[in-house]
Structure 1
Amino acid sequence: MSDDDVRPAQPAPAAGEEVVRLVDLKRRFGETPALEGVSLTVRKGEILGIIGRSGAGKSTLIRCLNGLERPDSGEVHVEGREISRLSEGELQPLRRRIGMIFQHFNLLSAKTVEDNVALPLKIEGRPKAERRARAAELLELVGLSAKAKAYPSSLSGGQKQRVGIARALAAGPALLLSDEATSALDPETTRSILALLKDINQRFGLTILLITHEMEVIRSIADRVAVIDAGRIVEEGPVWSVFSDPQSEITQSLLGGIRPQLPAAIAERLSPVPGREAILRVDVAGDAARRPLLAELGAAVPGRFRLIHGGIDHVQGEPIGSLFLGIAAKDGQVAKSLDFLTARGARAKVLGYV
């Protein structure tokens, strides 16, 4: 099967064109605010990850995007059309441009894999032969051709989600919404599903919006990330930039599990009172992460220092890292080290003393 076999059913927007634009979106449930003025843009071919804790507003946001929830105010534009005030009948053709994959798969147990994939086309009234041909193409794409006649009960979780992805692609959508699609899967299966989504994005230029509470999902495949908290977007930017220098407390907390942290045995001993040794956190990205920073520091600032913990990672091809250094707190060495590191593009601060 060639890449052309799985193509959008309608002309897609030009490269770089907006597929989604949200403008000051607000939604309350009684006295409880769910969205408090969310504005976002998603462009063609982009993978945008929206991350936040439970109750942050992620589910309400995605329901406003597919027309299942009406915002109290604000605008929802999909492929240039404002949809938030459309009637149910007017929404139906637009929903075909939006594919949806779910956390718990939402497959029909009484239908075969093939019939599950073809269901959106059956609802549209497409001929049976066309439905079967399309289902065969998509099952080949997701690696499940041999399971066409099987029923969902015989499939593993990862296979069920592949069926869900194939079904979401059936009508040739311009936008794929993923609502916690990997949170019910084990780590190995999660990696395979994310790799499939990335492949689909790259081969067909399909725009994907991921809703998740897992930073590892964002790091694996997203181009850009938006952090939502209490119904507001509190931080947004390229994934490597946000990961290397998180600004909000919620982002720092969500990143806590995948960014290097000071070992607990040292963190418990930290004191704000100057002592023998200052403990520094040094965050680097881009050019600052490419240079031999520690060797340069040792040559430029006389005195003793030690590397306690940390390392360099790569996100979207950009090196980012966090290092924890112990610096002898005498002869101005700490201040000189901070000045040196800052001058070379690193972000350095004293965490305390031991």
Structure 2
Amino acid sequence: MNSFVSASTIAVPPEAEAEEVVRLTDVRRRFGTTPALDGVSLTVRKGEILGLIGRSGAGKSTLIRCLNGLEQADSGEVHIEGRRITGLSEKDLQPLRRRIGMIFQHFNLLSAKTVEENVALPLKIEGLGKAERLKRAAELLELVGLADKAKAYPSSLSGGQKQRVGIARALAARPALLLSDEATSALDPETTRSILALLKDINRKLGLTILLITHEMEVVRSVADRVAVIDAGRIVEEGPVWSVFADPQAPITQSLLGGIRPQLPDYIAARLSPLSGPEQILSVDMAGPAAQGALFADLSQALPQSFRLVHGGIDHIQNQPVARFFIAVPTRDSTLPEKVQQFLKARGARVEVLGYDTDHA
């Protein structure tokens, strides 16, 4: 077993430890008449990275606070490693909180303490001796790539280095669950990629369960195994990342994915008519095996001169091809659009009629 992983001090049913680290069942929390959480049910399995995404005010922060016991749900149940925490006293919550590590958007480092002192702080609070604290801090700084910064102060570090210190500190007490609360929102894109790669590496090396709270779909795409979308206090969609990206169902998910998935060019979208035109514009979404085949080559052979490619591309998410294309189908033969749609659907594509291009001759 990796030296960074140790058994919990809390008795955990073996089956819960093997399957679920977090389980929320119909959790509700109101502030006045406003529902912050409105019947949330969600699980996070051992060793997975779950991305919880939603806009500001969707309920992400309240959900985190219910997980670490800073907020008590009005109803429903919250389980951590198989133990029901709803209604526990502050004293009983303390050992449980040591099983949860937190990393924050603004790092929350103590400026008057060195890097190693910041990392070792949770262990000092636990009462561990200085030699053991510093040994553990050294191990963790090696893990996050900052072994040479142990004696430095936070003011001398870059934003990415500060977040690495925050990650090391969150791991100090050997948590079962790591909560990442918008941890890359204050970082530039290159630094964000390096931090997400570090989290993925830690997940693999330690088997650590991670719940990523974010409003950025690119963060979810880069590192998560599953994604859950929260809107107005409800989980409106969840599933494997590649599957949700390939076929988003909820309007909020479609909106959040707008900057990542190919979109119909604005100048074409602006001239679409719902009634008629020389070309029908279709969006074609495919994932998995359907996206790997020679779909358009087969279409051209079966129905010559039946379409032109307007825009689109293929991405790979979790080693799965995910494709989205926009094609224009001539309407001079009134039966052709339906034939094209049937052909594509029969081969596993999801097809949507967006309208008619009124300007293309």
User: Aligned residue for 1:272?
Assistant: 274
CA distance in 2, matches of 1:219, 1:16: 26
CA distance in 2, matches of 1:157, 1:272: 49
Query: What is the CA distance between 1:234 and its match in structure 2?
Result: 0.3
Query: Deviations 1:91-143 (Å, cap 9, x if unpaired)?
Result: 11111110000010010111110000000000000011000000000000000
Confirm or deny: 8 A CA contact 2:69 2:93 kept in the other structure.
yes
SS in 1 for 2:109: coil
State the one-letter code of the partner of 2:307: F
SS in 2 for 1:280: strand
Pairing partner for 1:90 from 92, 103, 110? 92
CA distance in 2, matches of 1:63, 1:115: 26
State the one-letter code of the partner of 1:29: F
Superposed, 1:108-257 pairs within 5 Å as 108-257=110-259
User: Aligned residue for 2:35?
Assistant: 33
Structure 2 spans left out of the alignment, 5+ residues? none
Query: Deviations 1:232-290 (Å, cap 9, x if unpaired)?
Result: 00001010010000000000000000000001111111111221111110000111100
Pairing partner for 1:51 from 45, 50, 53? 53
User: Aligned residue for 2:346?
Assistant: 343
Query: What is the CA distance between 1:177 and its match in structure 2?
Result: 0.4
How many residues end up aligned between the 2 structures? 352
Query: What is the CA distance between 1:9 and its match in structure 2?
Result: 5.2
Pairing partner for 2:337 from 318, 327, 334? 334
Confirm or deny: 8 A CA contact 1:5 1:137 kept in the other structure.
no
CA distance in 2, matches of 1:322, 1:157: 36
User: Aligned residue for 2:103?
Assistant: 101
CA distance in 1, matches of 2:228, 2:213: 10
Give the alignment's TM-score, normalised by structure 2. Answer: 0.95
SS in 1 for 2:273: coil
CA distance in 1, matches of 2:2, 2:54: 36
User: Aligned residue for 1:4?
Assistant: 2
Structure 1 spans left out of the alignment, 5+ residues? none
CA distance in 2, matches of 1:92, 1:158: 30
SS in 1 for 2:165: helix
Give aligned-pair identity as a percent: 75
Confirm or deny: 8 A CA contact 2:306 2:340 kept in the other structure.
no
Confirm or deny: 8 A CA contact 1:16 1:45 kept in the other structure.
no
CA distance in 1, matches of 2:165, 2:8: 22
CA distance in 1, matches of 2:177, 2:352: 42
Give the alignment's TM-score, normalised by structure 1. Answer: 0.97
CA distance in 1, matches of 2:6, 2:111: 28
Confirm or deny: 8 A CA contact 1:47 1:209 kept in the other structure.
yes
User: Aligned residue for 1:69?
Assistant: 71
User: Aligned residue for 2:284?
Assistant: 282
